[in-house]
């Protein structure tokens, strides 16, 4: 058992020293601050609770559950993947480590990270109760109970889902990121209330209101914005014990997920288990010294010219035409975008192009944002690909690394947008007013991807941003996020023009951050 404890410990050490963890704690603190500053509000129809410890605890718990369910997943997932890509996994696999022990240890490490976030928010809630409560005083019981009953089970489930996604081969890596995003967006409307505790709080608060003589309170809403005109009522907390019992099924769900992960875990034995991260040649042992080379020249002598015949005779043209070179680089970058995807991916891309050619124009407008979700994984890799694969040292030794390679990478991303949107583009030619939306999407989306990648944000950031913007913008009509103007309202408001204008700004920032990195 101590061995597994060591795995948890080593994993935690590694994670807590990564920038991502600090960023998340920072983000959690920021979220806590937003709650303290009163940005988030919880209301029940036209009512809200008086700001006392119990209401603040409930508000914090619901906000946190929501946050953990999306961001928390991306925070903790990938530890198994990391072991695989660094080769540490194969070292562990050669020990007596058991599958159960390893997966449970990874789950435990996930959980500890998420519980750290819960702890940060608990402190934030206490601060709010001290500073901003309308009923002064800190009442720890009612403040912490909802965090334990609502947020902790969410943390447990998310930790289990993350380890499950890490262990199931089909859900590893970027595919899993996109699948999780999609699942989250789809299930939230109907399963979210129960999972994240909204339904339970709604029931308890309605009961409180009715017993106080108020009528028909209406649904629970967690939101951002003004709440002064709401009628207040005194909330002393729910019967958290009963609610906790009702949420025990989440523990069962988490257990089942971990069990499934154990079954799916291949102990790093799959065919592609070769470490994909940069080659750590240090780890390999040197081959024994070979016999002397055939004809070593005397030390200090200069190899004679006759030695050179027979190999590397090709005269080298050190600089080809710059335009030809740039074209070759763009082709190379484009190949990097699309090489190695599954057959399913290519087929889907082709289907999207063809569908755009045949569907009615209003359907094509909705289809275009979907088509541009398709390459979200390749795009998310741009900007950070060389660093991730350890090719940056090779590229950095070539002339003008930033000014040659970055524009080529950017252009290849735009070309991919054009390729997958080509069906829609052909149709839009008959509707010139739609072209600005097309241009905005084709330019802005890949530009954002490379800007984030260059800044070192990591692939998940772009993937999640793109998925959420797509879900809220084109699908749910939140105009400011509707980059391509899939809805008329967004088009009329000139949203695409705003995004087009942002492209040069992002590009300048990208070149600046890439230059800063190279010349460090």
Least Å distance, CB 511 to another protein, is 16
Q: Does 336 bind another protein (CB under 8 A)?
A: yes
99 contacts: CB under 8 Å, gap ≥ 6: 262, 265, 267
Q: Which residue intervals of 168-305 are DSSP H helices?
A: 173-195, 198-211, 240-246, 248-264
Of these, 324, 343, 430, 432, which contacts another protein (CB under 8 A)? 324
Please state, in angstroms and rounded to a whole number, the distance separating the CA atoms of residues 202 and 43.
9
Q: Which residue intervals of 455-494 are DSSP H helices?
A: 459-470, 488-492
- H or E element in which residue 43 lies: strand 40-44
Q: Does 186 bind another protein (CB under 8 A)?
A: no
Q: Does 18 bind another protein (CB under 8 A)?
A: no
Segment interacting with another protein, rule: CB under 8 A, options 51-59, 383-391, 438-446, 459-467: 383-391
Q: Does 223 bind another protein (CB under 8 A)?
A: no
Of these, 348, 396, 494, 498, which contacts another protein (CB under 8 A)? 396
Return the number of the residue (99 or 517) whose C-beta is nearest another protein. Answer: 517
Give φ, ψ of 81 to 5 degrees. Answer: -60, -40
Nearest CA to 213 out of 54, 47, 59 is that of: 47
Token pair of 318 as six digits: 């050190």
Least Å distance, CB 381 to another protein, is 10
* Local structure of 372: helix, strand or coil: coil
Least Å distance, CB 388 to another protein, is 8
Of these, 119, 391, 489, 505, which contacts another protein (CB under 8 A)? 391
CA torsion sign, 184 to 185 to 187 to 188? positive
Return the number of the residue (303 or 343) whose C-beta is nearest another protein. Answer: 303
Q: Does 91 bind another protein (CB under 8 A)?
A: no
Q: Does 296 bind another protein (CB under 8 A)?
A: yes
Print the binding letters for residues 40-79 with another protein: x by CB under 8 A, - otherwise.
----------------------------------------
Segment interacting with another protein, rule: CB under 8 A, options 115-123, 284-292, 431-439, 460-468: 284-292
Please state, in angstroms and rounded to a whole number, the distance separating the CA atoms of residues 102 and 109.
11
337 by Cβ neighbours in 10 Å (0-12 / 13-18 / 19+) ranks as buried
Nearest CA to 155 out of 241, 76, 221 is that of: 76
Of these, 96, 314, 430, 432, which contacts another protein (CB under 8 A)? 314
* Local structure of 448: helix, strand or coil: helix
Of these, 1, 137, 211, 320, which contacts another protein (CB under 8 A)? 320
Return the number of the residue (129 or 406) whose C-beta is nearest another protein. Answer: 406
Contact between 84 and 273 (Cβ < 8 Å): yes
Return the number of the residue (96 or 282) whose C-beta is nearest another protein. Answer: 282
Of these, 4, 132, 227, 278, which contacts another protein (CB under 8 A)? 278
DSSP string for 312-343:
S-SPP-S---HHHHHHHHHHHHHHHHHTT--H
Of these, 294, 343, 344, 360, which contacts another protein (CB under 8 A)? 294
- H or E element in which residue 233 lies: strand 231-233
Segment interacting with another protein, rule: CB under 8 A, options 9-17, 28-36, 64-72, 401-409: 401-409
Please state, in angstroms and rounded to a whole number, the distance separating the CA atoms of residues 72 and 65.
9
Return the number of the residue (225 or 300) whose C-beta is nearest another protein. Answer: 300
Print the binding letters for residues 433-472 with another protein: x by CB under 8 A, - otherwise.
----------------------------------------
Return the number of the residue (90 or 422) whose C-beta is nearest another protein. Answer: 90
Of these, 190, 282, 360, 432, which contacts another protein (CB under 8 A)? 282
- H or E element in which residue 42 lies: strand 40-44
Segment interacting with another protein, rule: CB under 8 A, options 194-202, 213-221, 251-259, 391-399: 391-399
Of these, 137, 189, 299, 360, which contacts another protein (CB under 8 A)? 299
Opening angle at CA 384, ends 382 and 390, nearest 5: 125
């Amino acid at each position: 058992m101590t061995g597994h404890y060591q795995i948890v410990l080593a994993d935690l050490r590694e994670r807590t020293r990564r920038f991502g963890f600090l960023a998340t704690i920072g983000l959690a603190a920021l979220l806590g601050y937003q709650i303290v500053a009163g940005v988030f509000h919880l209301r029940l129809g036209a009512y809200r609770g008086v700001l006392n410890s119990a209401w603040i605890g409930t508000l914090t718990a619901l906000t946190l559950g929501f946050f953990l369910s999306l961001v928390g997943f991306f925070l903790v997932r990938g530890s198994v993947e990391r072991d695989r890509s660094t080769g540490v996994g194969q070292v562990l696999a050669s020990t007596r480590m058991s599958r159960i022990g390893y997966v449970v240890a990874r789950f435990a490490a996930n959980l500890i990270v998420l519980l750290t976030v819960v702890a940060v928010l608990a402190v934030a809630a206490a601060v709010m109760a001290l500073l901003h409560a309308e009923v002064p005083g800190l009442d720890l019981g009612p403040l912490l109970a909802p965090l334990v009953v609502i947020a902790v089970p969410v943390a447990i489930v998310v930790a289990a889902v993350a380890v499950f996604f890490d262990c199931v081969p089909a859900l590893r890596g970027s595919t899993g990121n996109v699948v999780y995003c999609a699942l989250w967006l789809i299930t939230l409307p109907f399963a979210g209330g129960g999972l994240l505790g909204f339904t339970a709080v709604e029931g308890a608060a309605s009961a409180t209101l009715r017993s106080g003589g108020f009528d028909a309170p209406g649904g629970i809403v967690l939101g951002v914005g003004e709440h002064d005109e709401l009628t207040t009522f005194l909330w002393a907390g729910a019967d958290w014990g009963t609610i906790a019992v009702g949420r025990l099924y989440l523990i069962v769900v988490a257990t089942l997920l971990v069990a499934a992960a154990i079954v799916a875990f291949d102990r790093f034995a799959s065919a592609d288990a070769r470490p994909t991260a940069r080659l750590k040649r240090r780890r390999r042992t040197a081959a024994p010294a070979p016999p002397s080379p055939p004809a070593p020249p005397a030390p200090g002598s200069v190899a004679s010219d006759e030695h050179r015949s027979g190999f590397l005779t090709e005269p080298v043209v050190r600089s080809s035409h710059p335009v030809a070179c740039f074209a070759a680089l763009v082709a190379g970058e484009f190949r990097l975008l699309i090489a190695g995807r599954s057959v399913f991916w290519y087929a889907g891309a082709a289907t999207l192009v063809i569908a755009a050619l045949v569907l009615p124009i209003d359907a094509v407008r909705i289809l275009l944002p979907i088509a541009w979700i398709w390459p979200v994984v390749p795009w998310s890799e741009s900007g950070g690909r060389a660093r991730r694969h350890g090719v940056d040292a090779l590229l950095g030794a070539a002339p003008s690394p930033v000014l040659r390679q970055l524009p080529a990478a950017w252009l290849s991303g735009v070309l991919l947008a054009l390729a997958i949107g080509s069906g829609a583009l052909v149709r839009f030619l008959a509707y010139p007013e739609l072209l600005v939306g097309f241009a905005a999407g084709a330019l802005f989306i890949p530009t954002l991807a490379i800007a984030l990648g260059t800044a070192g944000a990591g692939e998940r950031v772009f993937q999640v941003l793109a998925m959420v913007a797509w879900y809220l913008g084109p699908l749910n009509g939140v105009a400011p996020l509707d980059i391509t103007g899939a809805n008329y309202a967004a088009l009329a408001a000139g949203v695409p023009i705003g995004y087009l204008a942002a492209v040069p700004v992002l590009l300048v920032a990208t070149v600046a951050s890439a230059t800063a990195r190279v010349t460090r």
